[in-house]
Structure 1
Amino acid sequence: MKQRFQKLLQQAGVKEKVINSKRVTGGSINEAYLVETKQQKFFIKYNEAAPNHFFTLEAMGLQLIQSTNTIHVPDVISYSDEQDERFLVLEWVSGNKTQQTDTLLGERLAAMHQNMGEQHGFAKSTFIGTLQQPNGFYDSWLEYYRDRRLLTQLQLGVERNVISGKRREKLEQLLMQLDRWIPEDISPSYLHGDLWGGNWIVGKQGVPYLIDPSFLYGDRHFDLAFTEVFGVFSKKFYEAYEGTFPTKNYYRDCKPVYQLYYLLVHLNLFGEVYGPEVDAILSYYLGN
């Protein structure tokens, strides 16, 4: 593998000799490696079977977040989605949490969310896990979320035979009534798009970094809702976010329907183990 990594770094303009490489954890989709030269360390994701534009889209998301100058992301060194050359090279980030890390994460995410796009959505189809996420630009967040997010997962679930019967009927009813819980006048914030606890890391001096975005413009509460799905973000994080950019009154009403998207994704990826959580949200809004 050293020769392969040497070639990838040379393509990125790094002329230093690779002296060490080792496999590291980096998600379940790609192979991930720490690659070292005498002067630097790099994080390399490699996946010969990656879908078209997979690493290009991740690089774009990181660069768009970085452009806000609010929260850290790893520097993008190089990437490719060419056949047999599908990889992403990032700076290596490592460090230990401090008492301020969670506070910084909340404050800086809130600062990122104060950056706005012109419309909701994104120009290119992205990925959530290994599922392709169709996109497009919409003036209405409600329409985008209904037609591009929930409807896409509903259709996929029907194809995969995990959404049928009463579950399908309720989802279709919910889509027709979304305006009861999601208002029209929502600003298109810069969003990470896949903000669970595994998609941020700690750098030097306890500074938080966002990783693995599925970038879009949309309701900032959509990002926040996903942080609460698996319950791994701290009280300090939420306090810091609220102190910087307080959530709107409608967030309490729309949070479960935002979490529904991620649970539908998990249902379509991993099966019926996530079915009861999907059904519970549908019952919350529509009754039994």
Structure 2
Amino acid sequence: MKRTSLQTASPLWTTIVAQISQFTRSPFIPESLIPIGGGCINQTFCIRDCERRYCIKLNAASGLAMFEAEAAGLEAILDSASLRAPRPLCFGSNPDHAWLVLEFIDLHNRGNAAALGIGLANMHRHTAEAFGWVRDNTIGSTLQKNAVSSNWISFWRQYRLGYQLALARKNGYTGSLQSLGERLLSEFQHFFTDTPPPPSLLHGDLWGGNYAFDPDGQPVIFDPAVYYGDRETDLAMTELFGGFPPDFYAAYRDIWQVDAGYAARKQLYNLYHILNHLNLFGSQYLGQAETIMKKLLSELG
């Protein structure tokens, strides 16, 4: 990757470097600033001195709340002592930018998929008294509402599918999508058993791009959209874009089998992410969303 000259970088980096020094209580004198990519949401850099490296995520100033929530989510995962995640150091903003400073972890390694399955199952064993979370966060760049609820079906109806369908309507997706959505919202409780799921600690956005392995081959998860909910939502998303390695699923199920009816519920749970992609990226996801809805409604009879 091309190295950026710190001498010619904007005052933004002077502010970030000063904040790193403040939070580490040790002068940080950077030697290099290297772009390391990032998705469609943030820019990401590695900044380093002679001994230390940090990952910096940048966005517009309006992204500060997103970074605050991400830091809180990473802390929640770390507090569960189940899986490694980048430890947040600090975050901040100026009139133009917001940033999040994270522990840098070399993620270009092969590793143990079974350990990921074990770690996720153990993370899901950390439960709360209710569904939701202490704050809202984002799924991609979309607001994710996490109001606390004692009823999982109501939570999913209002704050997941209902929210995304309302956003789709605002974005101009009416007609069949909305009529199918209304039918599904009124009937999908039939996919659930009489025993509600426990409110498990969730990553919330667990696709193949949000895990990797450290130099010791141990799994690392990142870019979370944390809340407490049905653990099957995390498992469902692992299957959405190609699936995780077989060892992951085998190891998870050795600890905690999925419940009856998961095959149908995973379509319901993944519909949330497909609708979010529709709202973020456009109509190429419209047909997929409608197909999932029709399939689910056909199973209800």
For the aligned pair, the TM-score class normalised by the smaller chain equals: over 0.9
1:246 to 2:262 alignment: no
1:119 to 121, 130, 137: 130
CA distance in 2, matches of 1:93, 1:77: 13
Q: 2:89 aligns with which of 62, 68, 77?
A: 77
Q: Distance in 2 between matches of 1:249 and 1:107?
A: 21
Q: Structure 1, residues 7-55: CA drift from partner, whole Å, max 9, x if none?
A: 2322323413101111111222112101111111110111233434111
**8 Å CA contact 1:95, 1:205 repeated in 2:** no
1:183-221: CA deviations, max 9, x gaps?
A: 451100000001111111221211111101111000000
**Residue-by-residue CA offset, 1:116-137 (whole Å, 9 max, x unaligned):** 0110011222111111112210
- What is the match of residue 158 of structure 1? 169
Measured after TM superposition, the shift of residue 82 of structure 1 is 5.9
Aligned counterparts of 2:222 and 2:77: Cα–Cα separation in 1: 10
| Conservation of the 8 A alpha-carbon contact between 1:16 and 1:38 | no
Aligned length: 286
Give the counterpart letter for 1:239 in structure 2. A
Map of 1:261 onto structure 2:
272
Per the normalisation by structure 1, the TM-score is 0.94
In the alignment, which residue of structure 1 is the partner of 2:65? 53
Among all aligned residue pairs of Structure 1 and Structure 2, give the percentage whose two residues are the same amino acid: 31
Name structure 1 gaps, 5 residues minimum: none
Structure 2 CA distance for partners of 1:136 and 1:95, relative to 1, 3 Å:
closer
Corresponding residue for 2:99? 87
d(CA) in 1 for partners of 2:82, 2:279: 34
Moved more, 216-225 or 7-16: 7-16
In structure 2, stretches of 5+ residues that fail to align are 1-8
Distance, in Å, in 2 between the alignment partners of 1:230 and 1:236 is 17
Are 1:170 and 2:189 matched, yes or no? no
Offset, 1:4: 4.5
**Equivalent residue, structure 1, for 2:293:** 282
RMSD: 1.7
- Residue 96 of structure 1 contacts residue 205 of structure 1 at CA under 8 Å; is this kept in 2? no
Q: 1:268 corresponds to which letter in structure 2?
A: N
